[in-house]
Chain A
Amino acid sequence: MPSVEILSRSTEETISQGRELAASLRPPLLILLTGELGAGKTTLAKGIISGLGVAAEEDITSPTFTLIHTFTGRVKVFHVDLYRVSDVHDFDTLGLEELFAEPAIVLIEWPERMRLRTDWPVLRIALEHVADDVRKITIAETVPDKFARRSSGTA
């Protein structure tokens, strides 16, 4: 499946691109956000989650420390950050498989730190810092995969 590439020139633009993207998202869906520190993963997540209408933009903060933020509204949304999980763990070990108990939209930052297993559709979003405030956002859709595999990080 071909991937889509967009450019963002500011934080505000990244947020509005997230909002636009949100309009086409339906649960169940797993969104993997990859990119190095400061690439804009949380910023894009802010746009997507506020676009889904489950929280105000200013209430969507980094889940680095808290690991999982749960939002309930029109749809159930989980914002997960595996930054602090450094070695590769199995999804089950951390109890994260519960996130997939019912249809939801699950956004995961730093997904390369864990072995993910799901038969949900997957949206891979890679963020790359190209120049000063310019970010390249590459979005690729993956068909549901019934087999266990390790997600690939592009950072």
Chain B
Amino acid sequence: MRILGIESSCDETAAAVVADGATILSSVVASQVDIHRKYGGVVPELASREHLRQIVPVVREAVLQADIALRDIDAVGVTQGPGLVGSLLVGLTYGKVLALALGKPLIGVNHLEGHVHAVLLEAHAGGRAPKLPAMCLIVSGGHTLLYRVEAKSNASGNGALQLSYSRVGGTRDDAAGEAYDKVARMLALGYPGGPIIDKLAVHGNPSAVRFNEPKMGGNQYDFSFSGIKTAVLYYLRKRPELQPEIDAREQALARGERNADALRVLSSATTLDLVASFQHAVVEGLIRRTLAAAEQFGAASVLVSGGVAANRELRTRFEEESRKYGLETFFPSRALSTDNAAMIAAAAYPRLVAGERADASLNAQPNFPLGKVVESLELKV
């Protein structure tokens, strides 16, 4: 069964065709990063306007690349939330109308569930399957969440793995990707902050600056990144001598010189040490809690997904550390880490098989929670 997936929850307009929830026939992503870069973030009005401009050509391209005709699609899966409401509505409305016009089933998909499926898609492409239950870390600009993922039933007839999710922890303040973006802004390293900090961190000493572990009561699997962000601010306040190089980088960015080599030349050893130490602290915080939760909740493997999952240090350190726990860590490819529609189509598949159908009243849910939802969709075989 071929599902057309549509995703427009934030910066990316994306469409993809995935067969049987496992094989990617096409995956097209039109990113708005360049448009948003000069604003240092997503401007919602621009986001929805760009989605409107992109949605038709992106869907057309996905169908063309899959080498099929629109009428050959078996269902349409579309992101319902969480996300920016104006952006979500573009993909949702388009998907709804398309399904109606083609007379095909429509499935509303939770964006976060899509991120879980991004890891499963990648594993499948490599001929592997993560052992369940798994501990899944979803880490991006907007999310830092821990879910326990388990199989509800493994239907033999159609092979659609039904999953259920329970939320184990989440950030109390800033998302990890948001901390990267804000620190990059303080240091004039451009937007998005993650990739550039990851590249520059290689050239600094990760133990040069010590960041205190956030003190938190309550759920020990919650995250906090606001304190690290503030610590970077304090550090810069105490070192006014770093201001000239920040100004120099600001000017370089304004000239469009935003690659790592150009910015590295304009960065002192102190700055590179700070960047390396910041990244080290964020990565350690993510790994420690994820692995502790994996142990506590009896996870058999670890899944890491979302934009920050593309981070080189995060991947390397996760692999090293999880091995100590006897756990294998699975990541999506770089292309599947960031927002895409293949993961949406893949997440729609078990729901389609389970008989779930959305009607014309399907609406965007900007705060759509994940968890406990799938349990009611248990496959009856």
A95 CA to B222 CA, complexed, in Å = 33
CB atoms of A84 and B173 under 8 A apart: no
Residues of A in contact, count (CB < 8 Å): 29
Using Cβ atoms and an 8 Å threshold, which residues of chain B touch A152? none
CB of A139, distance to nearest CB on chain B (Å)? 21
A83 CA to B41 CA, complexed, in Å = 8
CB atoms of B44 and A64 under 8 A apart: no
Stretch of B229-237, B269-277, B310-318, B332-340 with 4 or more beta carbons under 8 angstroms from chain A: B229-237
CB atoms of A84 and B40 under 8 A apart: yes
CB atoms of B219 and A37 under 8 A apart: no
Using Cβ atoms and an 8 Å threshold, which residues of chain B touch A38? 226, 229-230, 232-234
| Interface core residue of B44, B83, B219, B367 (most chain A CB under 10 Å) | B44
A37 CA to B41 CA, complexed, in Å = 15
Query: A3 interface residue, CB < 8 Å from B?
Result: no
Closest B residue, CB atoms, query A65: B142
Q: Hey, what's the 0/1 contact readout for B123-134 against A, CB within 8 Å counting as 1? A: 000000000000
CB atoms of B186 and A37 under 8 A apart: yes
Q: List residues 147-205 of chain B with CB under 8 A from any CB of chain A.
A: 170-175, 177-178, 182, 185-186
CB atoms of A62 and B173 under 8 A apart: yes
A58 CA to B171 CA, complexed, in Å = 8
Query: B285 interface residue, CB < 8 Å from A?
Result: no
Choose among B41, B83, B226, B227 the residue that contacts A84 (Cβ–Cβ < 8 A).
Answer: B41
CB atoms of A86 and B171 under 8 A apart: no
| Interface core residue of B43, B218, B222, B237 (most chain A CB under 10 Å) | B43
Using Cβ atoms and an 8 Å threshold, which residues of chain B touch A83? 41
Query: A89 interface residue, CB < 8 Å from B?
Result: yes
CB atoms of A58 and B86 under 8 A apart: no
Q: Hey, what's the 0/1 contact readout for A22-66 against B, CB within 8 Å counting as 1? A: 000000000000001110001100100000000001100110111
Using Cβ atoms and an 8 Å threshold, which residues of chain A touch B237? 129
Query: A76 interface residue, CB < 8 Å from B?
Result: no
Given known pairs A43-B226, A61-B172, A94-B45, the reply for A37 and B39 (CB within 8 Å) is: no
A89 CA to B43 CA, complexed, in Å = 10
What is the predominant secondary structure among interface residues of chain A facing chain B? loop
A141 CA to B65 CA, complexed, in Å = 59
CB atoms of A58 and B39 under 8 A apart: no
A129 CA to B232 CA, complexed, in Å = 13
Closest B residue, CB atoms, query A12: B215
Query: A68 interface residue, CB < 8 Å from B?
Result: yes
Query: A87 interface residue, CB < 8 Å from B?
Result: yes
Using Cβ atoms and an 8 Å threshold, which residues of chain A touch B44? 67, 84-85, 94
Query: B283 interface residue, CB < 8 Å from A?
Result: no
Query: A102 interface residue, CB < 8 Å from B?
Result: no
Given known pairs A62-B174, A66-B142, the reply for A86 and B230 (CB within 8 Å) is: no
| Interface core residue of B42, B45, B173 (most chain A CB under 10 Å) | B173
A70 CA to B237 CA, complexed, in Å = 34
Given known pairs A37-B186, A62-B178, A84-B40, the reply for A93 and B367 (CB within 8 Å) is: no
| Interface core residue of A46, A62, A89 (most chain B CB under 10 Å) | A62
CB atoms of A86 and B366 under 8 A apart: no
Q: Hey, what's the 0/1 contact readout for A1-23 against B, CB within 8 Å counting as 1? A: 00000000001000000000000
Closest A residue, CB atoms, query B231: A38
CB atoms of A58 and B82 under 8 A apart: no
A86 CA to B37 CA, complexed, in Å = 10
CB atoms of B42 and A42 under 8 A apart: no
CB atoms of B45 and A89 under 8 A apart: yes
Choose among A37, A42, A95 the residue that contacts B233 (Cβ–Cβ < 8 A).
Answer: A37
Closest A residue, CB atoms, query B177: A65
CB atoms of B43 and A84 under 8 A apart: yes
What are 8 A-B pairs with beta-carbon distances under 8 A? Answer: A37-B233, A38-B226, A58-B218, A61-B171, A61-B172, A65-B42, A65-B142, A89-B43
Give A contacts to B, CB under 8 Å. Answer: 11, 36-38, 42-43, 46, 57-58, 61-62, 64-70, 83-87, 89, 93-95, 129, 132
With A43-B226, A132-B234 given, name 19 new contacts (CB 8 A). Answer: A37-B182, A37-B186, A38-B232, A38-B233, A42-B173, A57-B172, A58-B219, A62-B173, A62-B175, A64-B175, A64-B178, A65-B42, A65-B142, A66-B366, A69-B367, A84-B39, A84-B42, A86-B39, A89-B43
